[in-house]
Chain A
Amino acid sequence: MVTSALFFLFAGLAIACALSLVYHRNPLYSAISLIGVFISLACLYLLLAAPFIAVVQVLVYAGAIMVLVIFVIMLLNLDEDKPILRLKYLAAAGIGLGLVLLVQTLFVFYAVLKTPNSVAVDPDKTVGKTLEIGKAMYTEYLLPVEIVGILLLMAVIGGVLLVRKMNPVEAEKVVEGEMEKRHLAD
């Protein structure tokens, strides 16, 4: 009973934060809403008896990734999105397509739930303990973990290569050209 109440509390919070993420034009408000989604999902993981995933969710998503995103928003000093004046009908089409996607996803999940369940599950059995995840990670799933390590290394190299310094004279020229173009457009 308590679990169910907590589920609906955090599910409502997650959906409200997700809607606010899409609704707000200011990227900083969107980022803060996204942190709300991450925290409520971490609470849901605790309800699902997965404490390791819950802690990693807060550390990696709400901690590392969102700090990076907010750092970039502050660094670039972004202002609010311009309102969409043209292609209004396309926004309606996008929302319609989103509804279609929602119905499809729910139908697939419904079909999954309807399939006969051959596995007998002990509801008290918890698999989310850090010890069990560590055991599985370093025995059965050793190769995928190594591959993920290489992927992260490549991401580090790619990040450094992407944001390396431009030639300052060239950078000045690019900025001036863009500003001039914008001036002409206005």
Chain B
Amino acid sequence: MESNLANYLALSGVLFAIGAVGVIYKRNAIGMFMCIELMLNAVNLSLVAFSRHYGDVTGQLFVFMVMSVAAAEAAVGLGIIIAFFRNKVSVDVDDASILKN
């Protein structure tokens, strides 16, 4: 049981790190958005593993909340991406530089 939890937490940490590197590495906004979803999922996995380990339902309730926030984020984030594409005809985040000058 103990080592089992450690396995799940290690997987969660690896997925989170891959997602974080992806956010830095990707240049288009949709790619960054998908990497953020990956990070949210890594956290969900650790919450479910803890919930299983401690026999407590709270962790799964938290996962439910995180999923709702992710759905809201998808609706608003993709809306922002479409609005950005309308103004710049690209989704490259390097083109979002109006505040630079």
Contact = CB atoms under 8 A, between A and B. Distances in A.
Interface string A100-116: 01100110011011000
Interface of A: 4, 7, 11, 14-15, 18-19, 21-22, 27, 30-31, 34, 37-38, 41, 44-45, 48-50, 52-53, 56-57, 60-61, 64-65, 68-69, 72-73, 75-76, 78, 81-82, 84, 91, 94-95, 97-99, 101-102, 105-106, 109-110, 112-113, 119, 121-123, 125, 127-128, 132-133, 136-137, 141, 144, 148, 151-152, 154-156, 158-159, 162-163, 166, 171, 174-175, 178-179
A69 to B, nearest CB: 7
Interface in B39-86: 41, 44-46, 48-49, 51-58, 60-61, 63-65, 67-76, 78-83, 85-86
Contacts of A21: 18, 22, 34-35, 38
A63 B18 CA distance: 23
Contacts of B53: 121
B78 A69 contact: yes
A163 B83 contact: yes
Contacts of B75: 68, 155-156, 158-159
Contacts of A151: 68-69, 72
